[in-house]
Amino acid sequence: MSQFDVVVIGAGPGGYIAAIRAAQLGFKTACIDAGVNKAGDAPALGGTCLNVGCIPSKALLQSSEHFHAAQHDFTEHGISVDGLKFDAAKMVERKDAIVTKLTGGVKFLFQKNKVTSLFGKGSFKGKNGDLWQIEVDNNGEKSVVEAKQVIVATGSVPRPLPLIDIDNVNVLDNEGALNLTEVPKKLGVIGSGVIGLEMGSVWKRVGAEVTILEAMPIFLAAADQQIAKEALKVFTKEQGLDIKLGVKLNEIKNVEGGVSVSYEAAGEQKTETFDKLIISIGRIPNTEGLNAEAVGLEKDERGFIKVDGECRTNLPNVWAIGDVVRGPMLAHKASDEGVAVAERIAGQKPHLDFNTIPFVIYTDPEIAWVGKTEEQLKAEGVEYKKGTSNFGANGRALALGKAKGLIKVLADAKTDRVLGIHMIGPVVSELVAEGVMSMEFSASSEDIARIVHAHPTLSEVMHEAALAVDKRALHG
């Protein structure tokens, strides 16, 4: 029976990073994962993010943006494209190649860092003295390894919708939405969160008629509402996404030629038939098959593994990270938790602040934020001041042909310390890092305003927004 210092269950962005960091710190480390490639004939590391989540969705978003630009934007640059065609199967093929490259990259990193990769489903079997026994089930072929420390990083799975089962034929989850090889004429999406908006955007750009049905009465409830309202305007009035809010679903059923959805919206009863329907109503922690109950691993009322502020569970030397524990379900949050746990096992004192974790939605324009929203500050009774600046006056944005959106900086009214930064615009997924850095180092809005930003760049909009906090914007 093999013994390890650290065994990680799950090789997603939390698990594989935790395993690599543990190995770097000198621990004999193994990582257990049951992921397989799209064909189902070989192991594939990287979890949901690399295989059917973050990475493939960005590949499709980029392809669809190129097609849309060639159709609608190239002419203003003096570029004419005759006989433009779109090949959905080729787009998916490119996406698959990127996934294969990156999952293979994780395998290489394991070899480089001497992490033992074990294929199969990992579950708790019991204890042998101070060592945890972990069973590895490789399609019925079982083995057991022992570990001084265990890190659970089993991630999350799509939240099911009771009205209908997902078959990934006509009723799709995120994986099915990523693998359509033909453009549906009518696409329905249940849920206007990250997955719903991103996948709806992909297929809208390449020709689908897209309707998004959202139960919440407000759009992007987690985002700053000034940004959310700007996004809703762009997505609906300019891009043609049909987004319905406050929807109550009544019935969903498979019918000839598609999926029928009956729902109530704005006081009206409606029934629509879609060629394909994407279910994207969030995700739930994945603890199935972990055998948590047998060893007394505690979970909360929502199914998340209970942990303290340092990711320790109620069991000695058992940790949990990522989507399977509290906090935002974000790949980068999982990765940083994985690093932190490995370093804590080594006796170090790492720091991870949930208040400075960035959020990004990769629509066009992109949406990103870090810190508190205006709504949260008002609810908490915090006195604040704000500054905003639009991309419409930014030379680089105009040159790119992407001048929609704005950046907003929120700062404490007395100390000027940055409390939140919110943005919608071109590649704000990259710009938000300046906001994270500012908040991590307790910067004031004046600190950002005093930093020289290169010209012409999109980052100048951040500079202007910081200047605007003190009512001294120079270009707005």
Question: Which H or E element spans position 205?
Answer: helix 194-205
Identify whether residues 210 and 255 lie together within a single domain. Answer: yes
Residue of 86 and 257 predicted with greater confidence: 86
Ligand-binding site membership of 329 (annotated): yes
Identify whether residues 235 and 379 lie together within a single domain. Answer: no
Q: How many residues in the chain?
A: 476
307 domain residue, yes or no: yes
- Give how many domains the chain has, as a whole number: 3
pLDDT classification of 1: cutoffs 50, 70, 90: confident
The CATH number covering residue 451 comes to 3.30.390.30
Identify whether residues 319 and 433 lie together within a single domain. Answer: no
Identify whether residues 113 and 82 lie together within a single domain. Answer: yes
Identify whether residues 115 and 26 lie together within a single domain. Answer: yes
Tokens of 322: 């990522």
Ligand-binding site membership of 154 (annotated): yes
Average of pLDDT values for 350-370? 97
Q: Which amino acid is present at 94?
A: R
476 domain residue, yes or no: no
The tens digit of pLDDT for each residue in 144-198 reads: 999 999 999 999 999 999 999 999 999 999 999 999 999 999 999 999 999 999 9
pLDDT, position 356: 98
Q: Annotated catalytic, 475?
A: no
Q: Domain range spanning residue 92? A: 2-158+284-346
CA distance 291 to 27: 25
Ligand-binding site membership of 193 (annotated): yes
Neighbours of 69 (CB within 10 A): 17
Identify whether residues 53 and 72 lie together within a single domain. Answer: yes
Identify whether residues 447 and 392 lie together within a single domain. Answer: yes
Ligand-binding site membership of 144 (annotated): no
Ligand-binding site membership of 81 (annotated): no
Identify whether residues 333 and 384 lie together within a single domain. Answer: no
Identify whether residues 137 and 212 lie together within a single domain. Answer: no
The tens digit of pLDDT for each residue in 216-253 reads: 999 999 999 999 999 999 999 999 999 999 999 999 99
pLDDT, position 269: 97
Tokens of 213: 């049905």
Ligand-binding site membership of 195 (annotated): yes
Identify whether residues 260 and 330 lie together within a single domain. Answer: no
The tens digit of pLDDT for each residue in 402-411 reads: 999 999 999 9
pLDDT, position 476: 76
- With vertex at residue 96, the alpha carbon angle to CA 91 and CA 101, rounded to the nearest 5 degrees, is 130
Ligand-binding site membership of 122 (annotated): yes
Average of pLDDT values for 341-345? 98
Identify whether residues 215 and 149 lie together within a single domain. Answer: no
Identify whether residues 256 and 131 lie together within a single domain. Answer: no
Question: Is the bond leading into 56 cis (omega within 30 degrees of zero)?
Answer: no
CA distance 476 to 465: 9
Ligand-binding site membership of 57 (annotated): no
Average of pLDDT values for 85-114? 97
The CATH number covering residue 142 comes to 3.50.50.60
Angle between helices 88-112 and 54-72 (to 10 degrees): 140
pLDDT classification of 368: cutoffs 50, 70, 90: very high
Active-site pick, 68, 77, 455, 463: 455
Residue 95: strand, helix, or coil: helix
Average of pLDDT values for 44-50? 97
pLDDT classification of 69: cutoffs 50, 70, 90: very high
The tens digit of pLDDT for each residue in 108-150 reads: 999 999 999 999 999 999 999 999 999 999 999 999 999 999 9
